[in-house]
A = this chain, B = another copy of it.
Amino acid sequence: MAEVKAKRKTDIGPPHYEKFLPLIIKENYGKWKYHEIVKPGVMVTVSQSGARLYTVRAASPRLLSIDKIRTYADLADKYSNGYLRFTSRNNVEFLLTDESKIDPLIADLRVLGHPVGGMANSISSIVHTQGWVHCHSAATDASGIVKSVMDELVGYFTDMKLPAKLRIALACCLNMCGAVHCSDIAILGIHRRPPKVDRTKLKAMCEIPSVVSACPTAAVRPATIDGVPSVEVIEERCMFCANCYTVCPAMHLNDPLNDGVSIWVGGKVSNARSEPMFSKLAIPFLPNNPPRWPEVVDAVRNLVEVWAKNARKYERMGEWINRIGWPRFFELTGIPFQKEHIDDFKHAGLTFKRSTHLTH
């Protein structure tokens, strides 16, 4: 051990990015002049010097085997001098200098089953999280829904005919890893059953004061059960946030009968035109229906289609809804409006309609 320790390197940080930049980028770093989307998934960035960098963007499932990564590496060697990158939405991008290699690369990617696209007014890959593949908190799977939804929407990835960009994100629980709270369409796993307390283990596993204070609605109270210090849950107060579970493994939220998926719309991140916005609840609950979650797929497709048909150019989902109003949104999408849509959390009052600006 001591031996190992002597040799241990720590706190070296990641390698410097310059090591991985192609020459054209090094030479034109900070000197780019403009870009143009050449065709779906292909962009040229032109430097002040006239240099032209071609980016080819391909879909990736994010969950990658080392075999697939090696295949990417091979493609990079073949077409882009070994240079490639990944995007903030987990697509893979090949950085070409030779225009003539674009189409052969695309052909190879197609064979591999990785569609090229996701640029400009398209739907890019779904930002998502772990789901049943790795997380203890998941109220639904992540990758399975993403795959099912994108199988349906892939045409919008490989095309650029939408009114604007459309960003979908998925989080498998309310922790919302990823920016699903600001997505055009967000798919969110939710629990609907209060925690079942594992009384026998609680004391050994958890700090009781932490569990109690973790609950935002004071639904968790200390309680001595059969002489053992534990907690109890006032079920009416629980809104299924799972914060108690995060700090205490003995508070089980996962539940096959009651877990499922909610759909949110109209968020955005960019400052383009309108300010960033949170997504708002569109569909409170859809069942977990693996392997292909048909209800979720239908719901998302419907949202995309209604928006695509009705929005004006440059109108992101939320901007479109802001123009037409929520009543019309519910009317056009055919989604029933329910009690659950009405906010009753901290700032609820601010979400009520406090004017007579209504269409009739």
Contacts and interface: CB of A to CB of B under 8 A. Distances in A.
A357 B272 CA distance: 9
A100 interface: no
Nearest to A349: B347
Identify whether the interface residues of A are mostly helix, strand, loop, or mixed: loop
A276 B353 CA distance: 11
Number of copies: 2
A44 to B, nearest CB: 28
Contacts of A346: 346-347
Contact of A350 (B271, B275, B350, B354): B350
A275 B347 contact: no
Contact of A347 (B276, B347, B354): B347
Interface in A305-333: none
Nearest to A276: B355
Nearest to A275: B355
A356 interface: yes
A271 B347 contact: no
Contacts of A355: 271, 275-276
A314 B21 CA distance: 55
A60 B357 CA distance: 33
Contact of A357 (B275, B350, B356, B357): B275
10 contacts: A271-B356, A271-B357, A275-B354, A275-B355, A275-B357, A276-B354, A346-B346, A347-B347, A347-B350, A350-B350
